[in-house]
Every structure is written in C-alpha cells, then in structure tokens.
Amino acid sequence: MYVLGVWDGHDAGAALIDGDKIVYAANEERFTRRKLEMKFPFNSIMGALAYANIKPTDIEHVAFSTTELTKTTERVFPYMREYYYLFRRRKIPQPRFENFRHNLKYTLTPIGILPLCNTISASYIARNLRHMGFRNFKLHRVEHHVAHAATAAFTAPFRKGLIITLDGLGDGLSGSISVLENGELDRRLKIKAKDSLGIFFEQVTNIVGMRELEDEGKVMAMADYSYPFDYESNKFKDFFRVEGTVLRAIHSPVKQFAMLRRAAWQMPREQFAYMAQQVLENTMVKLISNATDRYSIGDVAFAGGIFANVKANMRVRRLETVKHWYVFPHMGDGGIAMGAALWAAHELTGSSSFQFDAYLGHDYSEDETESIVKADRQFTSAREDRSEQAKHAAELINEGNYVLWFQGRMEYGPRALGNRSILAPSSSEAVKDKLNMYVKKREWFQPFAPSLLESDAGVLLEYDDKGADRYMTMTYIVRPGMYDVTRSVVNVDHSARPQMVEGENKLYMELLKSVKRHTGHGIVLNTSFNLHGYPIVMNPADALKVMKETGTKHMFINGITVTNRKGI
C-alpha cells in the first residue's frame, strides 16, 4: 500500500511510503532549480512515481498538510505565493507598501485552521492530483505540527521519547510537545503561533538585511563575531517567558518587529545577531530542560525549522537531562511531505517506526552519466571502479585540491552528505579561500563543515555518547590539539558541524578511510555541490554545469572520472 505525502508550501516536495519503507523523497527545488521552491510539487510527485515505477492510479492514499487561512489563500491565489517568493528572495524590488505587507502578514499568519479552509485546501490538492492522473485516492489532512512531530518520532532511533517541535508557525501553532510510547504519539502541549521563537528569529534575519526563511543560519554564524556580553544586558531577554513548559512571547509579532528594528539601528549587526541567538538558545534550553524534567524522559527527538540552528542544538544536547537526542535531518518545512505521509501511514497501518536514511532521491546509471559527459568536448572522461574513485579522490584531496563528488541517490534535506558534495582537505585555509572565490561565494563569516569517520569523532571533537550525528544537525567543540587538522572546517569559537559517517554510506566511508591512511585522520571539508544561490545539483547535467561555470578540474560521478580541459 502506497502513501504519497505532498507539501506545496515553502520548500515544497513529495515523499512516497510503501508499508513501513520510505521509498523516495525529494524537494521541488532540485527539479525547478529555484531554491526553496513554493509551487505545487508536480515534479517531485512524478519523480517519486518514476522511481517506484508505478502509475498515479496505483496510489490509494495521499496525505497533505497545513490548511491555515494564509496557506489556503495562497492556494486560491497562487500569484500571491509567487510574489512573496520573488520578494523574499530579492528577485524583485522592495515595494513601497512593504511595511503594510509585513504587518498584515504577521497579523494574519497566526490565525489557525478554519473549517472552510480545510475544504478549500483539500479541493485544491485533489484537483491538482486529478490533473496528474490520480483517481480513487483517499485524501488525508495532517495538521502542520503533527507532520513535524511524525518525522521526528517515527524515524528516531528510540521507541520511547519526548517529541518536541518548534518552528515559525503552521496551522496556528509554533510548537508542540508530545510523548512517544507504545507506538503512539500523544500530544501533551501546544505552543501558539503568537508565541513563536521562529518568528522572532525570522524577523531578526529580515532586519539585518538577509532573507527570512533562508538566511537564519547566516545570522547564527555572524553572531560568533560579536564581543560576548552578559545575558543580563541583553535588551531582548524579556521578549519570552518560560514557566514550566509554557512558552509565552511578551509582545505581538508586529510590536516585536518594531522594537527589534529600533534596537538594531543602534548597534553593529553582529552584536544584534549575538543578542538574538542568545535569546533563542536560552529560551530553548529552559523550555526543553523543563519538559524533560516534567515528563521524566531523557530521550528527545526534535523537528521544525528552529532545530536548523546547530548552535542552539549543541546547547540542548549538553543538558544533563537529555540522555539521547535526535534531530530529524529535514527539520524545516521541506520535511512536511514526509511527515504527512508518515502520519497517514501510521494511522492506516499502526506502524510507528520507519527505517530512514538520507539517500532517498534520484539515481542515475553509469551509462546514462557517461553519455551526458561525453556529449561535451570540454571534458575528458574515463570509467573507474567506484572504490578506485574513492581512493583517487582521496589522493587529490590529500594533495590540496578540491573535487566534485556525485554518487548514487540524491540526499534528502538541506545538507550534502557525501552523494552530491564538494570535498576538500579539512586542514587547508588556502583551499577554503579558493572554494569561496570560485565556487561557493559565501559570506566571509560562514564556516564550512566537515564529514568525518564516526570512529574518529571522539579524537577530533568533544564528543559524548548521546547519539551520533549522521546529518550535520548540531555543532561540537573541536579538541584543542586538533585545530591544525580542522583549519578549514572550524568556526571562530572552535565549534564544527560534523557529519559522522558509518556504514550507511559505504563508498563515502572508503573515501574517508583513504584520506585517513595518508593524514592519520578520517576527515574532509564537505560542502554542498551547487552554485551560489542555487539548490544542490540533482542530475549529471546540473553537475557538469557547475563544473563548467566554476572551472573545476576534477569530478567523480557515478563511476566516471571527469577532467575539465579548462579547469584550474
């Protein structure tokens, strides 16, 4: 029995489940090449069907999520959604009535689910599916935070735990606390949209001149460059109150924005970012600490966009009451299609545990890849056994080069995890600068992250036994003796956001082991395989385009070793 999950909002996408197996999941941005695409995910749905080799009529259950007033309005008037997308991504100039739009948005978005909106949204989703050839399917509506919670609960490595969601907002809520026990997910507490930590950080991002819903990670990174100061002197420390497990925002989102903007005028951007990050971390730590105490549960799983904040996650992990943790790797709204499908599958079959790995997207055969490579005379290519490619790539990395690494199924979620990655030595400042100059063009304060062998995590990092981080979901402090090894992947505060690699990606593990044979440590710089401002590459044609535009010399792609004649 197939269950298809569909999400048509920020970072739209689709996920396909068969029984308790997650068959496929991808986001629309990879197909349309527009980062965090918001349109109905026609391409992702077709991708899922093609991967599973089934027809639309084979799908009996479709799950979708989020029927709040503003989401429903966007479904009825899609040009509003497109306008917001273009505006948010700075593709069109700021309109004169921006203040009015901003205040209207934060007044209307906290309004939750209205019965009429359920009907209108369901009919919009069904109409699009019928247009694609779907027939006789049952439509399941899943509330936004139930979908987030399902991703964390049903893919977590433990069967009893506390499930906490925190985000901007969805269906009138900005968070929830549930208990997973005996295969059931029991919601104990809701956090209203008006009390949102996500809206707070979204507004801070906007005020420092960055793109809300996209650049929050940059704000977090910039905060590292402020001079530290005492929490008591933080002007925003009273913006939130935590009493037990109740989180309250003191001001409405509109008033909060006005206050933040006034304060930001009087201080450097990095200080403003630091203060906001401090409020976010301290509030999260207090809330989660109180929740683990109240329910006496130390195994905690998280989802929702707030948990993209890897620094705050590190603080949470350090809590004594947190014994084991898990962050669903596609924690933001990009994971909602998967959450809706998981919840519907859980309700239909009773299953509460679905085997998850991050490699859920498209794959391309060696023949297919080779024919695309050979069509362009700028490249020379040769077939090479993939194990040999791992060794060959490791040699080039150890010699100080960066390489493009494209193997197997595309990763699901925001991070490149060794299948669509750009890899470089972790110890070289020079290669980091080269990457930034020619390929990534990142803000100067944005760090790169490492992939490392899980067996080396304790040697390189202040690592505990609370759970391995396979998906780069939080930072760890690098051990003092390891600064030279991690020069290109460490933040100014000596933290790093690692992917710990074990058996789930054998080829990538081979590469790391080959690096280790030369250097003594199984660690590389791993950054996503994309052009600045674009989504991670999906297919070989996308990969060749990046290689060409960045003048990169070496690429290892599905058993084909490619050299760029014009590479530098």
522 contributes a contact to Fe ion by CB under 5 A: no
Rounded to a whole number of angstroms, the minimum distance from the CB of residue 109 to Fe ion is 12
CB of 329 to Fe ion, least distance (A): 15
- Cβ 165 to Fe ion, closest distance in Å? 8
Instruction: Answer for the pair 525, 423: CB distance below 8 angstroms, yes or no.
Output: yes
Nearer to Fe ion, 170 or 425 (CB): 170
Q: Which helix (H) or strand (E) holds 449?
A: strand 449-453
The interface region with Fe ion, picked from 96-104, 164-172, 175-183, 311-319 by CB under 5 A, is 164-172
Cite the beta strand spans of 218-344 per DSSP E: 240-243, 246-249, 299-303, 324-327
Task: Check residue 167 for interaction with Fe ion (CB under 5 A).
Answer: yes
- The angle, 0 to 180 degrees and rounded to 10, between the axes of the packed helices 69-76 and 115-131 is 40
Residue 483 CA to residue 468 CA, distance in Å, equals 21
Pick from 170, 253, 335, 522 the residue near Fe ion by CB under 5 A.
170
The DSSP call for residue 446 is: P
Minimum CB–partner distance for residue 300 and Fe ion (Å)? 18
> Which residue lies nearer to Fe ion by CB, 273 or 340?
340
* Shortest Cβ 344–Fe ion spacing (Å): 18
Cβ proximity to Fe ion, 167 vs 281, nearer residue:
167
Q: For residues 392 and 384, what is the distance between their CA atoms, to the nearest angstrom?
A: 9
Are 379 and 502 contacting, i.e. CB atoms less than 8 angstroms apart? Answer: no
> Which is closer to Fe ion, CB of 47 or CB of 170?
170
> What does the block give as tokens for 130?
């019928």
> Beta strands 21-27 and 61-65: pairing type?
unpaired
# residues near Fe ion by CB under 5 A: 3
Which residue lies nearer to Fe ion by CB, 170 or 253?
A: 170
Q: d(Cα 424, Cα 439) in Å, to the nearest integer?
A: 12
Nearer to Fe ion, 170 or 522 (CB): 170
Cα separation, 458 vs 456, in Å, equals 6
Cβ(376)–Cβ(510) below 8 Å: no
How long a stretch of residues is the chain?
A: 568
Residue number, 333 or 456, with CB nearest to Fe ion: 333
Pick between residue 13 and residue 170 the one whose CB is nearest to Fe ion.
170
What kind and span of H or E run contains 139? strand 138-142
The interface mask with Fe ion, positions 328-367, x = CB under 5 A, is -----x----------------------------------
Residue 386 neighbours by CB under 8 Å, 6+ apart: 407, 507, 558, 559
At 408, which amino acid appears?
G
Tokens of 548: 């060409």
Give the binding range for Fe ion (CB under 5 A) out of 97-105, 163-171, 236-244, 360-368.
Answer: 163-171
Task: Report how far residue 45's alpha carbon sits from residue 56's, in angstroms, rounded to the nearest whole number.
Answer: 9
Mention every residue, 6+ apart, whose C-beta is less than 8 A from residue 195.
174, 175, 240, 247, 248, 249
Closer to Fe ion by CB, 333 or 510: give it: 333
Question: Which residue number, 148 or 554, has a Cβ lying nearer to Fe ion?
Answer: 148
Residue of minimal Cβ distance to Fe ion: 167
Give least dist CB 451 to Fe ion, A. Answer: 27
**Does residue 216 touch Fe ion according to CB under 5 A?**
no
- Smallest distance, Å, CB 14 to Fe ion? 17
Segment contacting Fe ion by CB under 5 A, of 19-27, 111-119, 326-334, 420-428: 326-334
- 123: which 2 tokens? 């009919």
Which of the ranges 20-28, 162-170, 373-381, 422-430 carries the binding residues for Fe ion, by CB under 5 A?
162-170
Q: What is the token pair recorded at 550?
A: 């960045």
The stretch near Fe ion (CB under 5 A) out of 169-177, 261-269, 291-299, 461-469 is 169-177
Which residues are near Fe ion by CB under 5 A?
Answer: 167, 170, 333
